[in-house]
Homo-oligomer: A and B are copies of this chain.
């Protein structure tokens, strides 16, 4: 098992995390975990079709950024974007409804699991073609820079994504233009079914390449919400201050298969079990207890989160299907799909 190392990282920023923030971090991780688990159950019940990519085990990263970001910052995610979208405050019924192809879905059933978007919350889309959203995030950052709004774009992607051309173009572009964008590589050790080490020339696919863009190498334990929160806050502050982009590699592991279709058989025996010992939620709960949160408070939070997921599930299930008329809507800004007169 590879573990997070700090060998190449700058000294951790001296941010102190308050109790309220810690509570937020736990709440959000809980919601993401429970909602993803629910999505999985709904698949098994055949209420969710198509494909779906869960973030189980990787929630600390989405949660930490969700808490650290300003409401008007922007998130860009991949097909594995349920958690990141929820972490910006998108409604759970909007997410579950979309997975189920209901009218209440964030996209009214037009996009599905891989394209979750909630522009009002700053969730600027989930992109299902590897690498594409990295330059798009740079563009949003350019817009913030141009207008002087101090907004920051945060772009999440996987280890496998570092090998596609768009990664390289976006990083260089962002660095040269000193754009306020934070690139977050969630290194979960696999690109789909292939170990990342078998297809990548360096050990740390993001961090070992930061220098190619004049950026410092940053590696963080992606299963430790506090550690990610600190790194995130630092990178966001730097971006807001005009200091340009950051590239962060967060070491983590997904507990489930790559997608719904994948039982994850290619993993060496015992690997999952070892990572389960480092489950971000379990670790965070232990830490909170050690830091003086009490068991009833945490239990309460847990049942509130579960209640939220249950309510959202019920709402989504009750939502009607979209209308066939929707098919020819919203190709163009006029709401229609006409290509001729």
Query: Which residues does A use to contact B, with CB under 8 Å?
Result: 163-169, 171-172, 175-176, 198-202, 208-209, 211-215
Bound CA span A201–B244, Å: 12
Bound CA span A212–B200, Å: 10
Known: A164-B169, A201-B214. 13 other contacts (CB 8 A): A163-B169, A163-B172, A165-B165, A165-B167, A168-B169, A172-B200, A176-B198, A201-B212, A201-B215, A208-B211, A208-B212, A211-B211, A211-B212
Bound CA span A167–B209, Å: 14
Q: Is the interface of A mostly helix, strand, loop or mixed?
A: helix
Closest-CB distance, A61 to chain B (whole angstroms): 23
Q: Tell me whether B214 and A212 are in contact (CB under 8 A).
A: no
Closest-CB distance, A311 to chain B (whole angstroms): 44
Nearest-CB residue, chain B, relative to A168: B168
Q: Which residues from B are CB-within-8-Å of A208?
A: 211-212
Closest-CB distance, A44 to chain B (whole angstroms): 37
Bound CA span A175–B198, Å: 11
Q: Which residues from B are CB-within-8-Å of A165?
A: 164-169
Nearest-CB residue, chain B, relative to A197: B176
Q: Which residues from B are CB-within-8-Å of A211?
A: 202, 208, 211-212
Nearest-CB residue, chain B, relative to A214: B201
Q: Which residues from B are CB-within-8-Å of A198?
A: 176
Q: Tell me whether A175 and B201 are in contact (CB under 8 A).
A: yes
Nearest-CB residue, chain B, relative to A131: B165
Bound CA span A200–B173, Å: 8
Q: Which residues from B are CB-within-8-Å of A166?
A: 165
Bound CA span A209–B214, Å: 10
Closest-CB distance, A219 to chain B (whole angstroms): 15
Q: Which residues from B are CB-within-8-Å of A167?
A: 165, 168
Nearest-CB residue, chain B, relative to A167: B168
Bound CA span A164–B166, Å: 8
Bound CA span A171–B164, Å: 11
Bound CA span A202–B214, Å: 6
7 interchain residue pairs of minimum CB distance: A165-B165, A168-B168, A175-B201, A209-B212, A212-B212, A201-B214, A201-B213
Bound CA span A25–B208, Å: 39
Q: Which residues from B are CB-within-8-Å of A200?
A: 172, 176
